[in-house]
A and B are shown apart, each in its own frame.
Chain A
Amino acid sequence: MEDLLNYAVDYAMKVGASYAEARYQSDYFEEFTLRNGVPEAPAFGKSRGLSVRVIVSGSMGFASTNMMRRTDVRDAVAKAVTLAKASSRAVKNAIRMADAKSTKAEYVIKPRVKPEYVDPDSKVELLKEVDGRSVSAASRDGVKLPTRFLSIGYMITEKHVVTSEGSSVRSRIPRSMFSYMLTAAKAGKGTVQRFENMGESGGWERAERWALDERVPEEASKLAKILTEAVEPPTDTLDVVLGPELVGIICHESAGHPLEADRVLGREAAQGGETYVTRELIGERIGSEHVTIVDDPRLPNSFGYYLYDDECVEARERVLIEGGRINELLHNRETAAEFGTLSNGSSRASLYDVEPIVRMANTYMKPGDHSLEELIEGVRYGVYISSYMEWNIDDRRWNQRYVGLEAYLIRNGRLVSMLRNATIELTTKGLYSSIDAVGKDVRFYAGYCGKSEPMQSLPVWFGGPAIRLRGVRLGRSPPSDG
């Protein structure tokens, strides 16, 4: 493969490119699903091919092919160069790549338990066990789970990137995944739903640690309690404690995405939008001193794990917000050149046939010194929201909404009753500025981050500790039909 990649890069340089990079990528996946207790057809798939990215006369061209003959690769290079040349007549600002040191590296995650060697039948049996226990758990509170959808599987991503500057990086990362959606129903109380993803890099031993046969039934039991016990949330001003699951998605949506440098430059304007962050805002305060949010691809076992990005730049921790101040954008080499800095290794492509762009990996809030109990004890009147279903944010990443699923009313430092659809709807600055204390126990949650066109969906983690917000008013809840 290295020969073919070098051939692509050499040929691109020969026909006029000032920069060229070639990437081979293979993604294998298997997925087993259970629909309402019945096995659905499992899905197996392998996507593999080669892409080349070139800069010609200040214009960027990209081409991919899954036909891997030398002639196909040459055609792809020629196409990328032709496209770049054709576009160069409409390009006013020449595209450049920031300096990066030439790198040779290879890294492989060796699974302790190879997922492909785990009997498919045992995966389906596990789903059946989880399904059955969940139905039983809900029924103990007189609640039915009329629809359940469970999915378990793994994927193995292999990449080899070669650049015209002499870099060459190979990697192999297996990942295990699980997701589920449960619908709980009770006559006169309507329905509630829970959706959740789990995912880690590593072998099947990671999936075995999730204790799905306990965790999912626990969630089913909580759904039953929400249906039978939860009451309308209050509407006056109060304190809010948010659990790690909400803190994770908040960090992803209102710190990670807006600090992607390509967004600041307007490159995503017609798709995922732009950002409240400007060049001038770097160093400015956006939250209280308790707020430090980072993105780190190197976290062991993380879903967004990598050590070198798709431009062969070594990964490192990126401190996005430090002590409440905007600190550092996520960069690839192209955006770094625009900002007069160096890439911090954020360039990733989801599959062989799409260009690498600026992406998050594992975004989380750094811990403080409070236990969850201490955060709650410090609230006389408030709510604690532990999980959520609906969420969204505007395309400048400023106005965001999270509709709580498992939530409680707090009175005098104690959880006193469950709340249904407790919702926060806050501006980014309003939210981060209201934080007066941060928990010490960080938890991570898996997700698939979507960005760009064609849509690129990438595995990521997001997380953090619990946090406490002082003096906010809850947002308008969705209706609780009963």
Chain B
Amino acid sequence: MLTNSEVRALPTKLVRKILRSGASDAAVRLNASSSTMIRFSNNDITVSNFFRETVLEIYIAFKERRVTGTITDLSQPSIEETVERLVSAAKTVQPSDVYAPLPRGPFKYDRRLLRVGKVKTEPEVLVDHVKASINSAISAGAKRVAGSLNATVSKTVLCTSGNVEASSTKSTIALSVRAFAADDATGQFATVAADDSDFKPEEVGSMAGEIARMAMNPVEGEPGIYDTILGPMTFAHIVDELGSAASAFNVDIGASFLVDMLGRQVASSSFTLTDDPTLSNTYGAEPFDDEGLPTRRNVIVEKGVLKTYLHNSTTAKRYGTVSTANAGIIVPTPFNLVVEAGDRSFEKLLSGVDRGIYVTNDWYLRYSNYREGDFSTVPRDGLFLIRRGSIETPIKGLRLVGNMLRLLNSIVALSTERCWIEWWEVNTPVYAPWALVSNVEFTKSTL
């Protein structure tokens, strides 16, 4: 078994070994992480988890013949066997359509991004966070509270055949709280941070508890078309879908509603979205992508117009452009999605709605057609009828049915206030405002 320092030196050693076999390209990425996750329900901690894992990701290319491998078995024989197997497979595998060499370094990385985060991970501290969030939710009106808290410390080491030898460390914390004022009166809120000073478990608990209290005694909602305010949890979900749809790989396979939309209006002019891993000390900050390119701020949508897909070197070559430094060696992905702030408060958004619905959270978004963007999602937690600029009553039993492009093009206004959201339903951190969207359709069960 290798020592810790030997493990850290592995990427460089393996890249050299792979290149000696005649490979044109190699990238080896090692990620060693320790996570503590506390889960709670009914105001009680149900399990405390500690995950310690070191993952080795290997990419080998003989020009167009490419393979990827992932292992967690870091014993010497396992590593050697895996590399031999991957090299052998790469030599004989059927070629892909393009060959894009890995980017040539060395590169300069933003020093602020090489060491992200300042988070305490001692169990006692984390248990105190949990208790604080539960207590604040109860103070705000909840009877019972559930959720999860996850603190992670990780180190990434990357070596590529393009003269990249880089490493970074990161510590982050994430909290999701669901509050129940009654079985059918719930509220949920979540936050992520890379610094304890930005982490406010009490506020997350209060927010969830307050929504739950407001959701007491809901009445059946009426299906129809409404002007709708999407809270940050739901708007982050929509934006997360947009970020995924912007991946050139997903565009290629038809798993995106942004096919043939470059340069075209995909959202209203009040919507601008960037992917910004260069925001230091945020949850999604990253100094380099999986090909070793320094990350950069990419404007995906500017005033409603789609400006770029997200690329790695291979998808960029296929599209005749340059990488946006969003590798995933096979699938480019966003890191840290930021919606530009709007120009009004939540109260102002609300006051502009004569007859509408406020969706605080949703889950289970599924497409009938990814290519067209036809989807539905199920509001959960506080769902409210808005009348003449005020929240009138909590409602239940409705489903939001729509089309992504139509919904994004129907954004009327965004709030000035934004929240960092990442939770069970939102994979990429999103800095999301409240959004007022016109003409959103809601349906309900017919029997």
- Residues of chain A touching chain B, judged by Cβ–Cβ distance below 8 Å, are 26, 35-36, 38-49, 59-69, 76, 79-80, 82-84, 86-87, 89-93, 95, 120-121, 124, 146-149, 181, 183, 190-193, 265-274, 353-355, 389-396, 399-401, 403, 405, 421, 424-427, 430-431, 434, 453-455, 472-476, 478-479, 481
A41 to B313, CA, bound (A): 14
Residues in A with CB closer than 8 Å to B61 are 41
For A79, A83, A95, which residue has the most chain B Cβ atoms within 10 angstroms?
Answer: A83
What string of 1s and 0s marks CB contacts (under 8 Å) between B53-79 and chain A? 110000101000011111111110010
Could you list 14 A-B pairs, sorted by A, with CB under 8 Å?
Answer: A44-B68, A63-B49, A92-B43, A121-B93, A149-B253, A183-B254, A266-B42, A269-B146, A270-B148, A390-B374, A392-B378, A394-B364, A427-B445, A453-B424
**Chain B count of residues within 8 A CB distance of the other chain:** 94
For B46, B50, B178, which residue has the most chain A Cβ atoms within 10 angstroms?
Answer: B50
Nearest Cβ distance between residue A124 and chain B, in whole angstroms?
A: 5
Of all chain B residues, the one with the shortest Cβ separation from A351 is B72
B123 at interface by CB-CB < 8 Å: yes
Assess the B364–A392 pair: CB atoms within 8 A: yes
A381 to B52, CA, bound (A): 59
Assess the B45–A425 pair: CB atoms within 8 A: no
Assess the A90–B369 pair: CB atoms within 8 A: no
Assess the B48–A87 pair: CB atoms within 8 A: yes
Assess the A355–B378 pair: CB atoms within 8 A: no
Residues in B with CB closer than 8 Å to A453 are 37, 39, 148, 150, 424
Residues in B with CB closer than 8 Å to A93 are 42, 44
Assess the B447–A472 pair: CB atoms within 8 A: yes
Assess the A399–B397 pair: CB atoms within 8 A: yes
Assess the B376–A44 pair: CB atoms within 8 A: no
Of all chain B residues, the one with the shortest Cβ separation from A124 is B94
Assess the B66–A41 pair: CB atoms within 8 A: yes
Q: A181-B255, A401-B376 are in contact. List 20 more A-B contacts (CB 8 A).
A: A44-B85, A59-B48, A61-B48, A63-B52, A64-B52, A65-B53, A82-B123, A181-B254, A183-B371, A266-B41, A267-B41, A270-B177, A353-B51, A353-B53, A392-B377, A393-B378, A454-B51, A473-B446, A475-B446, A478-B376
Q: Which of the candidate stretches B104-112, B124-132, B156-164, B347-355 sits at the interface with the other chain?
A: B124-132
B399 at interface by CB-CB < 8 Å: yes
A396 to B51, CA, bound (A): 30
From A124, A399, A481, give the contact of B445 (CB < 8 A).
A399
Nearest Cβ distance between residue A24 and chain B, in whole angstroms?
A: 11
Residues in A with CB closer than 8 Å to B147 are 270
Residues in B with CB closer than 8 Å to A82 are 123
The verdict on A89 contacting B127 (CB below 8 Å), with A147-B253, A399-B397, A476-B401 known, is: yes
- Residues of chain B touching chain A, judged by Cβ–Cβ distance below 8 Å, are 1, 36-39, 41-54, 59, 61, 66-75, 78, 82, 85-86, 89, 92-97, 123-124, 127, 130-131, 144, 146-148, 150, 176-178, 180, 183-184, 188, 223, 252-255, 259, 329-330, 363-372, 374-378, 380, 397, 399, 401, 403, 424, 441, 443-447
Assess the A83–B372 pair: CB atoms within 8 A: no
Nearest Cβ distance between residue B174 and chain A, in whole angstroms?
A: 10
A273 to B424, CA, bound (A): 11
The verdict on A47 contacting B72 (CB below 8 Å), with A147-B254, A266-B42 known, is: yes
Residues in B with CB closer than 8 Å to A65 are 52-53
Of all chain A residues, the one with the shortest Cβ separation from B73 is A48
Of all chain A residues, the one with the shortest Cβ separation from B254 is A147
Residues in B with CB closer than 8 Å to A48 are 72-73
Nearest Cβ distance between residue B110 and chain A, in whole angstroms?
A: 29
From B43, B52, B68, B123, give the contact of A41 (CB < 8 A).
B68
Residues in A with CB closer than 8 Å to B177 are 270
The verdict on A478 contacting B49 (CB below 8 Å), with A399-B378, A426-B446, A472-B446 known, is: no
Assess the A481–B372 pair: CB atoms within 8 A: yes
Assess the A68–B67 pair: CB atoms within 8 A: no
Residues in B with CB closer than 8 Å to A434 are 447
Residues in B with CB closer than 8 Å to A396 are 184
Of all chain A residues, the one with the shortest Cβ separation from B184 is A396
A60 to B50, CA, bound (A): 11
From A273, A403, A475, give the contact of B363 (CB < 8 A).
A273
Main secondary structure of the interface of A (DSSP, over half): mixed
From A39, A62, A354, give the contact of B96 (CB < 8 A).
A39
Residues in B with CB closer than 8 Å to A427 are 445, 447
Assess the A83–B49 pair: CB atoms within 8 A: yes
Assess the B223–A476 pair: CB atoms within 8 A: yes
For A61, A394, A424, A455, which residue has the most chain B Cβ atoms within 10 angstroms?
Answer: A394
Residues in A with CB closer than 8 Å to B82 are 44, 46
A192 to B374, CA, bound (A): 11
A65 to B48, CA, bound (A): 15
Assess the A62–B146 pair: CB atoms within 8 A: no
Residues in B with CB closer than 8 Å to A89 are 127
Assess the A269–B41 pair: CB atoms within 8 A: yes
Of all chain A residues, the one with the shortest Cβ separation from B95 is A39
From B66, B146, B372, give the contact of A191 (CB < 8 A).
B372
Assess the B67–A42 pair: CB atoms within 8 A: yes
Assess the A87–B45 pair: CB atoms within 8 A: yes
The verdict on A479 contacting B374 (CB below 8 Å), with A390-B366, A395-B363, A421-B368 known, is: yes
Residues in B with CB closer than 8 Å to A455 are 424
A274 to B144, CA, bound (A): 13
Assess the B403–A479 pair: CB atoms within 8 A: yes
Residues in B with CB closer than 8 Å to A193 are 254, 368-371
Assess the A392–B365 pair: CB atoms within 8 A: yes
Assess the B67–A269 pair: CB atoms within 8 A: no
A150 to B252, CA, bound (A): 13
A357 to B70, CA, bound (A): 25
For B42, B48, B74, B150, which residue has the most chain A Cβ atoms within 10 angstroms?
Answer: B48
Assess the A60–B255 pair: CB atoms within 8 A: no
A430 to B444, CA, bound (A): 13
Of all chain B residues, the one with the shortest Cβ separation from A271 is B424
Assess the B49–A45 pair: CB atoms within 8 A: no
Residues in A with CB closer than 8 Å to B75 are 68
For B61, B92, B180, B399, which residue has the most chain A Cβ atoms within 10 angstroms?
Answer: B399
A124 to B361, CA, bound (A): 42
* In the complex, the 9 A-B pairs of residues with the closest C-beta atoms, listed nearest first: A147-B254, A430-B447, A390-B368, A86-B123, A269-B146, A83-B48, A392-B364, A41-B66, A183-B254
Residues in B with CB closer than 8 Å to A355 are 47, 49
The verdict on A86 contacting B54 (CB below 8 Å), with A120-B89, A392-B365, A392-B377 known, is: no
Assess the B97–A38 pair: CB atoms within 8 A: yes
Assess the B54–A393 pair: CB atoms within 8 A: no
Assess the A192–B73 pair: CB atoms within 8 A: no
Residues in B with CB closer than 8 Å to A271 are 148, 176, 424
Residues in B with CB closer than 8 Å to A183 are 254, 371
Residues in A with CB closer than 8 Å to B51 are 63-64, 353-354, 454
Assess the A475–B52 pair: CB atoms within 8 A: no
Residues in A with CB closer than 8 Å to B371 are 147, 183, 191, 193
For B51, B223, B253, B330, which residue has the most chain A Cβ atoms within 10 angstroms?
Answer: B51
The verdict on A149 contacting B255 (CB below 8 Å), with A392-B366, A476-B443 known, is: yes
Residues in B with CB closer than 8 Å to A393 are 364, 378
Nearest Cβ distance between residue A385 and chain B, in whole angstroms?
A: 13
A71 to B146, CA, bound (A): 35
A271 to B146, CA, bound (A): 9
Assess the B41–A394 pair: CB atoms within 8 A: no
Nearest Cβ distance between residue A298 and chain B, in whole angstroms?
A: 28
Assess the B93–A120 pair: CB atoms within 8 A: yes
Of all chain B residues, the one with the shortest Cβ separation from A390 is B368
From B68, B71, B369, give the contact of A478 (CB < 8 A).
B369
Residues in B with CB closer than 8 Å to A389 are 367-369
Assess the B253–A270 pair: CB atoms within 8 A: no
Nearest Cβ distance between residue A457 and chain B, in whole angstroms?
A: 13
Of all chain A residues, the one with the shortest Cβ separation from B443 is A476
A49 to B180, CA, bound (A): 37
Assess the B252–A35 pair: CB atoms within 8 A: yes
Residues in A with CB closer than 8 Å to B330 are 40-41, 43
A260 to B73, CA, bound (A): 33
